[in-house]
Amino acid sequence: MARAIRDSVSRAISTKLSDPRITGLVSVTGVTISPDAKNATVSLSVFGADETASKLTFTAIRHAAGHIQAILGKDLPGRVCPHLSFELDTTMKKTLETLRLIDEAEQEYQASDEEETESDEDDTEA
């Protein structure tokens, strides 16, 4: 059921919403369903041009929750359609930031290693 919800919500966000505030890339990263299947929490990763655009996109999606809920109700077989709530998943952003910091540290290390090699060559020539 979580997979069906994830697919339906993802499709609704990408093809059924026409809110101009929704920009960038929105990815449904997970769905948690309550034991009674009456509630589902949808985790979203939002990558916008900047932090403000990302927040605006997330706000627009939360504002469209009723519309997304209606689409989900049509997509899901059976009588039970859980009430949706949305949360921002920052795991991907944190991972990308960590990778950026690792790359930056590696470049600094390589630059200092090259300077040290050049310094050693200058010492041997003298």
pLDDT at 79: 74
Treating both helix axes as pointing N-terminal to C-terminal, what angle do 65-75 and 2-11 enclose, rounded to 10 degrees? 120
Pairing of the two strands 83-88 and 25-33: unpaired
Check whether residue 24 and residue 83 sit in a common domain. yes
Check whether residue 10 and residue 37 sit in a common domain. yes
Query: How distant is the alpha carbon of residue 17 from its chain centre?
Result: 18
Check whether residue 52 and residue 20 sit in a common domain. yes
- Rounded to two decimals, the pTM is 0.73
Check whether residue 96 and residue 59 sit in a common domain. no
**Series of mean pLDDT values for 10-residue runs along the chain (126 residues):** 93 92 92 94 90 92 94 85 92 85 90 75 60
Query: How distant is the alpha carbon of residue 59 from its chain centre?
Result: 14
